[in-house]
């Protein structure tokens, strides 16, 4: 009988499946990003980023990103005797991720060594790491955004900046005075206010020596494992920003009481919580009543990283689709060689390259802190980039998942995690409407910014009639912007800037396809509807030279 039931009944031969995508260089295979690093002033960092790209593309690092999300942090509110703990336990992969990010200065390296191009270098590394594990980028960007605010408070800065600027990561839950390096979290959102931080009800009562006691709550307390937090509360002089350490100066745990862990759609590796402040000690950052300007300053940096993070996630989704299509065969040919699939893949590749170009151009603004024109552009373009790139991310993830078919829909692969992560950056640090209103405020309060924008777009004029016509319409829309049409205006701004960068710096076929589809309307309502005369082959080879 055993001979009868022999190997002839074994039907589980696996064929026509792609190999695992691993042991490749995330950076050198990403031509658009590599060119942007050179163009925007960080060419000196190219060899270093190439080494990082090779490391992150190994099977070991890809597995760490998977493990950190398969084993989310567990809240420990009390010990077995009932004493409050208010800590999270993390999988070792989480700590390995933060160790890598801190060691490479993806949090504060641009402040620790502020050479020209430092913020561009950092943006490139941020985008690459987003392809591996996005949750650990939350405390990374908050530490980045906190530095300028803390630097203005001499006493806090003297004690804390050396720790924040340090490349050392210490996972221990101990006072920061015992650590060589520290990281920051934030807590602005309350349940009754959301984006309206002026509606916050948490109270701050002065107790002497620049210290306050906070009583209240935070509905979203981000990266609650951090060593300190920037939070908002109502002081006697109005809404104020505060520096809230995890431990008090005498080494006791500050009374930040966790009510529950947030069960989030994505970002599973990262700890988010609802907390109550039961007389927690904090120091004022800036003047009493000036909390909103402090929050806006911090958000400027973290909003840049919302665009950077989504750009990295989009690239990850695109690469998975390109890799799959390069190996999977159907109807007698590889998917990537079939005309309709080529259109879909090339269309997504255009979206990703445009996102890279815009996000890296905005990063250059952050490298030119003493250039008034660049500062004005930063004020305008940061919410533009955050709005548009983050809006496009989910569309790319859905289409890329469809390329993989059923294989893309199962939790064994990377696509569900990428898909769940996509909405976060649109919501975090101000949702879409907040970004659009911020752009309107920038235009209204900085009359010179329209002229500065014109100068940014001018070098691309005269090279593509569709772009010229689109810019003329945009200038008319900027004359008297209307709030109800703010989303349309911000979309036009983003597309004009992306097109200008592609016309100037990308191959002609890339720029022409972008202008035909995104500017001239020769496009459908889904990816895969590029005009028939588009250079699909050139776009695909550029997007994935490994095919």
Q: What is the pLDDT of residues 70-95, one digit of tens each?
A: 999 999 999 999 998 999 999 999 99
465 burial via Cβ count (<10 Å: 0-12, 13-18, 19+): exposed
Q: State how far the alpha carbon of 87 is from the alpha carbons of 78, 84, 140, 224, 292, in Å.
A: 9, 9, 19, 8, 29
Cα Rg, the chain, nearest whole Å = 24
| pLDDT category of residue 221 using cuts at 50, 70 and 90 | very high
- Helix 372-404 with 432-445: angle, nearest 10 deg: 160
What mean pLDDT comes out for the span 439-453? 95
| pLDDT category of residue 453 using cuts at 50, 70 and 90 | very high
What are the backbone dihedrals phi and psi of residue 481, each rounded to the nearest 5 degrees, phi first? -65, 140
Alpha-carbon dihedral sign for residues 81, 83, 84, 85: negative
Please state, in angstroms and rounded to a whole number, the distance separating the CA atoms of residues 398 and 419. 7
In this predicted structure, the answer to whether residue 6 has a pLDDT above a threshold of 70 is no
| pLDDT category of residue 10 using cuts at 50, 70 and 90 | confident
What predicted TM-score, i.e. pTM, was given to this entire model? 0.96
Coil, strand, or helix at residue 67?
helix
Please state, in angstroms and rounded to a whole number, the distance separating the CA atoms of residues 536 and 534. 6
Q: State how far the alpha carbon of 522 is from the alpha carbons of 488, 527, 531, in Å.
A: 18, 12, 6
Report how far Cα 226 is from the mean position of its chain's Cα atoms. 19
In this predicted structure, the answer to whether residue 487 has a pLDDT above a threshold of 90 is yes
What mean pLDDT comes out for the span 31-53? 98
User: Assign residue 238 a region: left if phi > 0, alpha if psi is -120 to 50, beta otherwise?
Assistant: left
80 burial via Cβ count (<10 Å: 0-12, 13-18, 19+): exposed
For position 315, what pLDDT does the model report?
98
Please state, in angstroms and rounded to a whole number, the distance separating the CA atoms of residues 399 and 394. 9
CB 240 within 8 A of CB 272: no
């Amino acid at each position: 009988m055993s001979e009868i039931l022999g190997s002839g009944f074994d039907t589980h031969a696996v064929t026509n499946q792609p190999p695992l995508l691993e042991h490749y260089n995330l950076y050198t295979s990403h031509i658009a990003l590599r060119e942007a690093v050179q163009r925007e002033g960080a060419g000196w960092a190219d060899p270093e980023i190439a080494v990082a790209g090779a490391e992150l593309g190994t099977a070991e690092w890809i597995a760490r990103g998977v493990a950190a999300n398969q084993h989310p942090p567990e809240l420990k509110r009390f010990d077995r005797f009932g004493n409050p703990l208010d800590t999270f336990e993390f999988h070792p992969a989480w700590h390995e991720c933060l160790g890598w990010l801190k060691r490479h200065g993806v949090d504060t390296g641009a402040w620790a060594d502020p050479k020209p191009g430092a913020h561009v270098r950092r943006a490139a590394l941020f985008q690459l790491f987003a392809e591996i594990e996005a949750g650990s980028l939350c405390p990374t960007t908050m530490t980045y955004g906190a530095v300028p605010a803390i630097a203005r408070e001499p006493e806090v800065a003297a004690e804390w900046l050396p720790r924040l600027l340090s490349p050392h990561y210490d996972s221990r839950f101990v006072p920061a005075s015992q650590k060589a390096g520290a990281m920051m979290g934030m807590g602005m959102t309350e349940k009754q206010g959301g984006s309206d931080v002026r509606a916050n009800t948490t109270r701050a009562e002065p107790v002497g020596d620049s210290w306050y006691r906070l009583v209240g709550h935070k509905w979203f307390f981000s990266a609650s494992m951090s060593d300190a937090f920037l939070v908002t509360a109502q002081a006697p002089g109005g809404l104020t920003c505060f520096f809230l350490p995890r431990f008090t100066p005498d080494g006791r745990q500050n009374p930040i009481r966790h009510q529950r862990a947030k069960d989030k759609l994505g970002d599973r590796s990262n700890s988010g919580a609802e907390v109550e402040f039961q007389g927690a000690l904090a120091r004022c950052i800036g003047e009493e009543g000036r909390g909103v300007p402090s929050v806006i300053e911090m958000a400027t940096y973290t909003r840049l990283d919302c665009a950077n993070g989504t750009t990295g996630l989009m690239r990850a989704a695109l690469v998975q689709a390109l890799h799959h299509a390069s190996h999977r065969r159907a109807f007698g040919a590889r998917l990537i060689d079939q005309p309709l699939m080529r259109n879909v893949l090339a269309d997504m590749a255009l979206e990703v390259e445009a996102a890279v170009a815009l996000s890296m151009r905005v990063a250059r603004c952050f490298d030119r802190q003493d250039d008034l024109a660049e500062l004005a552009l930063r004020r305008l373009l940061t919410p533009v980039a955050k709005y548009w790139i983050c809006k496009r991310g989910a569309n790319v993830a859905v289409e890329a998942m469809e390329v993989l078919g059923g294989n893309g829909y199962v939790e064994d692969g990377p696509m569900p995690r990428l898909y769940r992560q996509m909405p976060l950056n649109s919501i975090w640090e101000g949702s879409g409407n907040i970004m659009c209103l911020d752009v309107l405020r920038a235009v209204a309060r900085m009359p010179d910014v329209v002229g500065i924008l014109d100068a940014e777009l001018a070098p691309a004029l005269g090279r593509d009639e569709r772009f010229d016509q689109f810019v003329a319409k945009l200038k008319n829309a900027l004359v008297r912007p209307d709030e109800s049409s703010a989303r349309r205006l911000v979309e036009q701004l983003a597309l004009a800037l992306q097109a200008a960068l592609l016309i100037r710096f990308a191959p002609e076929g890339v720029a022409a396809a972008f202008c035909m589809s995104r500017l001239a309307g020769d496009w459908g309502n889904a990816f895969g509807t590029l005009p028939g005369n588009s250079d699909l082959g050139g776009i695909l080879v550029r997007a994935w030279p490994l095919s």
